Amino acid sequence: MIRKSSKLSLLIASLSLAGSIIMSACGGPAASTPVPTNTTGTTTEVATATTGTTEEATATTESGGGGGTFSGDTIKIGIDLPVSGGDATIGLPTRNGMELAIRQANEKGGVTVAGKTYKLEMYFLDDVPPGGTSHDPAQSSKNADSFIADDAVLAVLGPFNSSNAQAMMPKLNQAGLCQISPSNTNETLTKPEYGKTKDYRPTGKVTYFRTAATDDIQGPAAADYAFTELGLKKVYVLDDTETYGKGVSDNFERRFKELGGESLGHDGVPKGTTDFSSIMTKVAAAGPDFVYYGGTSSNNIPLARKAMKSAGLDAPLIGGDGIGDAEYLNVAGDDAIGSYYTLAAVNVETLDEAKQFIADYNSAGFKEPLGAYSGPGFEVANIAIDAMSRATEPSRDAVCEALRNTKDFKGVLGTTSFDENGDTTNKVIGFYRADKNDKGELAWIFVDQIRFGEE
């Protein structure tokens, strides 16, 4: 069941005119085992959708390719996600959802484009560099070059984080190669009123799409929930200084003040910080009802949660979808209890249309259980495959044109259309709390979700 909100949707319209805010996006609850993936040099891993095994293929890192008609028998779908380091518990379940969609399409015979049937192949690249601990925009930029250089790649899925999208979008746009993200939430990526779209789409054509709600919805929704539902009136705001964390926290703070809440301070804590003792001593001395922390678990926010407790600050920590993963729970342990996060997508476990997907995922042999972005991952892959089936020819240009015309796609997220900027019309924010489940295990517990933009 999804509650509807028209009150906040009016707020969103006014926020969209306020000016440029910088932000990003992130994950959902899942447990996983990190799997290192080679993403540099001249060799990349290509995962076949039918077996889930890998085979070696060469790919250059020079921009190339184009919108011409593809003449082979196998169409590749490029995927850029973080599946190692601290982001693995987000990235792996998301990739599994994408892989399942490609696998199922092949089991049905592949995809037919303009009368010819093609096999589909998953071409996956990790956006965590070798030896790295979290997503890296520079790695996503290299991955974009590899996808562009391979003419068999007719669509790209991902990335997970909006800072990575900022690195990929201009290159893919100039190559006429369309991408769909299940999780990017930075509103500046798509909305012209924030003044950034000319940088991300230099050709003027829309080649980027997403199924996630944006942070000018997610941040204010969290503020409404904290102020109205939880009755919290005083906040100390922190962010991890990255695109996503800074942006979503700014949006949160603005709305919280409009509601009558008090912000006792707002500090940026540099990415890579591991010792939060001094900042949390400062925060505790201010006496907030709660802390809002914009950022990702891979930037050590679980350690910040533990430091809150050590500083004697027994208050909730609320964040965006960047902390809604198993990494946060694993690192923070029982100190995670009392934390909340917002999810910029529907909880598929609440929808009847997702029941078959959930059953298929659970029986597919994946090591990682269903994550909050597994369903959106499955959805974006199926939307890409559907666009290929509607394309007038097997070319990047034709697939892009079909994506722009996507309307009323029925899937595991409900009904999705893309607006003129590539944003989904299916805007949902979910709320989760860290607590012990009925088995006594620490988990993210679903609390509620609200659909925006509907009367």
**pLDDT, tens only, 111-150:** 999 999 999 999 999 999 999 999 999 999 999 999 999 9
Task: Indicate the average pLDDT of the chain.
Answer: 88
Q: How far apart are CA 134 and CA 411, in angstroms?
A: 31
Give me the pLDDT at residue 50, please. 32
Number of folded domains in the chain? 2
Q: Is residue 357 part of a domain?
A: yes
Q: Are strands 234-239 and 208-210 parallel, antiparallel or unpaired?
A: unpaired
Do residue 220 and residue 231 come from a single domain? yes
For range 25-49, the mean pLDDT: 35
**Would residue 272 be called left, alpha or beta, if left means φ above 0 and alpha means ψ between -120 and 50 degrees?**
left
Res 66: pLDDT: 56
Mean pLDDT of 213-236: 97
438, with CB counted inside 10 A (0-12, 13-18, 19+), is exposed
Q: At what angle do helices 243-258 and 215-224 cross, to 10 degrees?
A: 50
Q: What are the distances in angstroms from CA 444 to CA 234, 288, 313, 347, 371?
A: 24, 24, 21, 12, 11
pLDDT of residue 4: 66
For residue 400, is it within any domain?
Answer: yes
Domain range enclosing 18: 3-24+215-343+429-452
| Shared-domain flag, residues 177 and 221 | no
Q: State whether 338 and 408 are in the same domain.
A: no
Same domain, 77 and 128: yes
Q: What is the CATH number of the domain that holds 245?
A: 3.40.50.2300
Residue 35 lies in a domain: no
Percent residues over pLDDT 90 in the chain? 81
- The predicted structure's pLDDT at residue 5: 61
- Say if 219 falls within a structural domain: yes
pLDDT of residue 45: 34
Residues 85, 104 within the same domain:
yes
pLDDT digits (tens, 9 = 90+) for 40-85: 322 233 344 333 333 333 333 333 455 677 788 999 999 999 999 9
Q: How confident is the model at residue 243 (pLDDT cuts 50, 70, 90)?
A: confident
Question: Is 47 within a domain?
Answer: yes
**Residues, the chain:** 455
Of the candidates 129, 134, 135, the one whose C-alpha atom is nearest the C-alpha of residue 38 is 129
Mean pLDDT of 24-32: 38
What does the pLDDT read at residue 129? 97
- Higher pLDDT: 290 or 56? It is 290
pLDDT for residue 18: 39
- pLDDT at site 9: 46
How far is 412 from 357, CA to CA, in rounded Å?
7
For residues 4 and 298, give the distance between their C-alpha atoms in angstroms, rounded to a whole number: 32
Q: Are residues 61 and 197 in the same domain?
A: yes
Determine, yes or no, domain membership for 33.
no
Are both 327 and 184 inside the same structural domain?
Answer: no
Same domain, residue pair 324 and 445: yes
State the average pLDDT over residues 273-280: 97
Q: What is the 3-state secondary structure (H, E, C) of the chain?
A: CCEEECHHHHHHHHHCCCCCCCCCCCCCCCCCCCCCCCCCCCEEEEECCCCCCEEEEECCCCCCCCCCECCCCEEEEEEEECCCHHHHHHHHHHHHHHHHHHHHHHHCCCEEECCEEEEEEEEEEECCCCCCCCCCHHHHHHHHHHHHHCCCEEEEECCCCHHHHHHHHHHHHHHCCCEEECCCCCHHHCCHHHCCHHHHCCCCCCCEEECCCCHHHHHHHHHHHHHHHCCCCEEEEEECCCHHHHHHHHHHHHHHHHCCCEEEEEEECCCCCCCCHHHHHHHHHHCCCEEEEECCHHHCHHHHHHHHHHCCCCCCEEECHHHCCHHHHHHHHHHHCCEEEEECCCCHHHCHHHHHHHHHHHCCCCCCCCCCCHHHHHHHHHHHHHHHHHCCCCEHHHHHHHHHCCCCEEECCEEECECCCCCECCEEEEEEEEEECCCCCEEEEEEEEEEECCC
Residue 124 lies in a domain: yes
Question: Is the pLDDT at 452 greater than 90, yes or no?
Answer: no
**54 lies in the same domain as 141:** yes
Above 90 in pLDDT, residue 353?
yes
Task: Say if residues 368 and 358 touch (Cβ distance below 8 Å).
Answer: no
| pLDDT value at residue 27 | 38
Mean pLDDT of 398-425: 97
Mean pLDDT of 175-179: 98
In this structure, the answer to whether residues 9 and 138 fall within a common structural domain is: no
Q: What tokens were used for 122?
A: 């998953």
177 in the same domain as 70? yes
Confirm whether 38 is domain-assigned: no
Distances (CA, A) of 380 to 66, 209, 417: 22, 9, 12
Least confident window among 34-43, 200-209, 232-241, 423-432: 34-43
271: confidence class by pLDDT, cuts 50, 70, 90: confident
Which has more pLDDT, 388 or 66? 388
Q: Does residue 220 share a domain with residue 91?
A: no
